[in-house]
Amino acid sequence: MSQTVCSILIPMYNEEEVIEETYHRLKNVMDKIGESYELVFVNDGSKDRSAQIISDLAKTDENIRLIDFSRNFGHQIAVTAGLDYVQGEAIVIIDADLQDPPEVIPQMLEKWREGYDVVYGKRLKRQGETAFKKASAHVYYRVLGALTDGNIPRDTGDFRLINRKVCEAIKELPEKNRFLRGMVNWVGFNQIAVEYVRDERWAGETKYPLKKMLKFAADGIFSFTYKPLKLATYIGLFLSVIGFLYLLVVLFQRLFTDTALTGWASLMAVTLVFHGITLVILGIVGEYIGRIYEEVKGRPLYIVKETIGFKNDKKDS
Ligand code: UDP
Ligand code: MG
């Protein structure tokens, strides 16, 4: 068994402006705790000097590890890769941009020592994020909560501590579209929250543009519930009832009045509404089929170009 007590897992994508500061803040906190630790940086195909900065630092600090991807695979995959490599008994997942304050880590470790398996950071306040991001996150977590019967804690990100048991359990989940905060919750065990104020990004810009955010949000819903599929049934039933009632009206008009055959507008309306609904439902079905396709292909989740600081390092040839 390894000696490392605590692993800090830091996914990074184009973080050259902040990553050195992040390293110093983390090192500061971890040195004070006085347990053996490793800082595992996962470079998610950065196009800037992030990886270079870390590999230079690794020459002077033997606690640094680097997993360098062959390209950008996405934040959730980067964290997944980190979990495959970390050695520690307690694993803390933290963003590279210092939005999650490293100073909360000792509190998390304390809870872990008390016997909790998962200690997740709960955002009391978000600083320096746009009103749109805050509002959309607020709505999203509530929709997700309703769809998944409240099983995924609100307002928590991936900033959390998990122990070895939970890490091994998550490694058993092979899905390709990963929504880690949901998966950690799904595996169960003893979970507790630690509250913190989410800071502003220390430097640089968000690496989650709207497109990535939407994909991530969709993963949360489509990977954790098939309720959207039931929507087709509900809407279908509802419209059938309306349709039947309207049929009665039409029949009545035809038989007992002379106002029949004036219905072009209503026909058009019905056609448009039904086509719209059909396409939406088809899209929802497509989301699931696409995900099934991803799973069936069975490709690896990520490709590692090079590692630094591990026992059997993979070299970039
Ligand atoms: N990140 C990553 N790969 C990506 C996008 C982001 O590894 O494709 C990392 C990023 O470097 C950061 C974390 O994921 O450490 C969260 O990203 P960011 O802070 O940009 O997201 P936000 O806080 O704006 O939601
Ligand atoms: Mg951030």
pLDDT in tens, 182-203: 888 888 888 888 888 887 777 7
Query: Do 56 and 183 reside in the same domain of the chain?
Result: yes
Ligand 1 mean position, distance from CA 297 (Å):
27
- Mean pLDDT estimate for the chain: 85
More confident residue, 241 or 65: 65
What is the reported pLDDT for 85? 95
Per-residue pLDDT at 38 exceeds 80? yes
Q: Kindly report the protein residue whose alpha carbon is nearest to atom 9 of ligand 1.
A: 12
CB 64 within 8 A of CB 54: yes
Query: Do 138 and 11 reside in the same domain of the chain?
Result: yes
Query: Do 275 and 256 reside in the same domain of the chain?
Result: yes
Structurally, the chain folds into a number of domains equal to 2
Query: Do 26 and 109 reside in the same domain of the chain?
Result: yes
What is the reported pLDDT for 40? 96
| 290, part of any domain | yes
Query: Do 140 and 271 reside in the same domain of the chain?
Result: no
More confident residue, 206 or 169: 169
Query: Do 304 and 288 reside in the same domain of the chain?
Result: no
More confident residue, 138 or 265: 138
Residue 303, SS3? Answer: coil
Which residue range forms the structural domain that includes residue 174? 6-205+300-308
- pLDDT band for position 1 (cuts 50, 70, 90): very low
pLDDT in tens, 272-293: 777 777 877 787 888 888 888 8
What is the reported pLDDT for 34? 86
| 315, part of any domain | no
Tell whether ligand 1 has an atom less than 6 A from the beta carbon of residue 82: no
Ligand 1 mean position, distance from CA 156 (Å):
15
Q: Kindly report the protein residue whose alpha carbon is nearest to atom 24 of ligand 1.
A: 206
Q: Look at the pTM and tell me if it is higher than 0.85.
A: no
| 304, part of any domain | yes
Ligand 2 mean position, distance from CA 33 (Å):
25
What DSSP line would sit under 113-155, residue for residue?
Answer: HTT-SEEEEEEEEE-S--HHHHHHHHHHHHHHHHHTTT-S-TT
Query: Do 50 and 192 reside in the same domain of the chain?
Result: yes
* Residue 41: closest CA among 50, 29, 32, 31: 50
What is the reported pLDDT for 260? 62
Ligand 2 mean position, distance from CA 260 (Å):
62
pLDDT in tens, 213-230: 888 888 878 877 777 777
Burial group, residue 313, by CB count within 10 angstroms (0-12, 13-18, 19+): exposed
Tell whether ligand 1 has an atom less than 6 A from the beta carbon of residue 41: no
Q: Kindly report the protein residue whose alpha carbon is nearest to atom 19 of ligand 1.
A: 206
Query: Do 176 and 47 reside in the same domain of the chain?
Result: yes
Per-residue pLDDT at 313 exceeds 90? no
Query: Do 193 and 242 reside in the same domain of the chain?
Result: no
What is the reported pLDDT for 224? 75
User: How far apart (Å, rounded) are the C-alpha atoms in residues 112 and 202?
Assistant: 28
Question: What number does the ligand 1 atom closest to the CA of 72 have?
Answer: 8
More confident residue, 266 or 68: 68
Q: Region 143-167: what's the mean pLDDT?
A: 82
CATH number at 76 reads 3.90.550.10
| 212, part of any domain | no
Tell whether ligand 1 has an atom less than 6 A from the beta carbon of residue 198: no
User: How far apart (Å, rounded) are the C-alpha atoms in residues 82 and 67?
Assistant: 8
More confident residue, 120 or 223: 120
State the amino acid at position 228 in one-letter form.
P
| 221, part of any domain | no
Per-residue pLDDT at 42 exceeds 90? yes
Query: Do 289 and 165 reside in the same domain of the chain?
Result: no
Tell whether ligand 1 has an atom less than 6 A from the beta carbon of residue 111: no
Q: Region 119-142: what's the mean pLDDT?
A: 82
Burial group, residue 172, by CB count within 10 angstroms (0-12, 13-18, 19+): exposed
More confident residue, 41 or 100: 41
User: How far apart (Å, rounded) are the C-alpha atoms in residues 298 and 174?
Assistant: 9
Query: Do 140 and 71 reside in the same domain of the chain?
Result: yes
More confident residue, 316 or 14: 14
| 41, part of any domain | yes
User: How far apart (Å, rounded) are the C-alpha atoms in residues 128 and 112?
Assistant: 30
User: How far apart (Å, rounded) are the C-alpha atoms in residues 182 and 96?
Assistant: 21
More confident residue, 142 or 19: 19
Query: Do 278 and 304 reside in the same domain of the chain?
Result: no
Per-residue pLDDT at 315 exceeds 60? yes
Tell whether ligand 1 has an atom less than 6 A from the beta carbon of residue 100: no
Per-residue pLDDT at 53 exceeds 80? yes
